[in-house]
Structure 1
Amino acid sequence: MLTRAHGTSTITETIYPRRDTHVAGQRAFGADITTDGPHIRVRGPVRLHPADVHGDDIRAATAHVIAALTAHGTSTIRGMHHLRRGYQRLLPTLAALGAHATLTTPENPHP
């Protein structure tokens, strides 16, 4: 969401040292995001574009879903199984809000 804000936003993580697993994926979407120890800096606004990314944990997968919703085009997010921990009905809820989201599995690659 900070990619939409004007200027530089800084997030400082003081509890968990690896709360930056989403950074590489966000860069793939076109985010101007950097890390420096516990600090994550996001410069904006930037226009995000579709990407093929992997969410390594629930926070990363959620950040990638939000980025995909703001990007114009079709994105692929792997690692969506992490979202089942806290967001079991995320895709139906997003669809009810007008998002075009499809869940595929390795056994069913075509929805």
Structure 2
Amino acid sequence: MHRRTAAADAFLTQAPGVSRIEERIYTARDSHVRPLRDFSASVTSDGPAITVHGPSRLTATRVAGQDIRAVAALLIAALAAEGVLTIEGIYHLQRGYGTLLPTLSALGAELEVVQE
């Protein structure tokens, strides 16, 4: 097991096989798991550990991120998802990843930010 990050969980939805990652510092940091499941990802949370079965075919839906890590994870998953989707709480990214959306857009991601 490795130290868990929400972004890693999102990346692992596209990796073949079963991945199990454990958070050793903030064990209740799993607010991104339910929204990832809403994307049709095969992700489960069991205390400090998250198990991801991949790869998952992610589909568009409307999800909400509760903090900066969750929103970053959902954005990563959204890049791999099919269809048009909505992420609520995108304002959390401004706290630490203010240049992420313009950078992704410059790389070819089709993004539209609507003020919440």
Runs of 4+ in 1 over 3 A off after TM superposition: none
1:34-90 CA-partner distances (Å, limit 9, x unpaired): 011111000011110111000000110001001111001111000011101111122
Specify which of 10, 16, 21 is matched with residue 26 of structure 2.
16
* Aligned match for 2:112, one of 90, 102, 108: 102
2:99 to 89, 100, 104: 89
State how far apart, in whole Å, the 2-side matches of 1:29 and 1:42 are.
13
Determine the C-alpha separation between the residues in 1 that align with 2:36 and 2:18. Answer: 15
TM-score where L is the length of structure 1: 0.92
CA RMSD of aligned residues (A): 0.8
Overall identity of the aligned pairs, in % = 53
Structure 2 gap segments, 5+ residues each? 1-10
Residue 32 of structure 1: aligned partner: 42
Structure 1 stretches lacking a partner, 5+ long: 107-111
The number of equivalent residue pairs is 106
Residue 81 of structure 2 corresponds to residue 80 of structure 1:
no
Structure with bigger gyration radius: 1
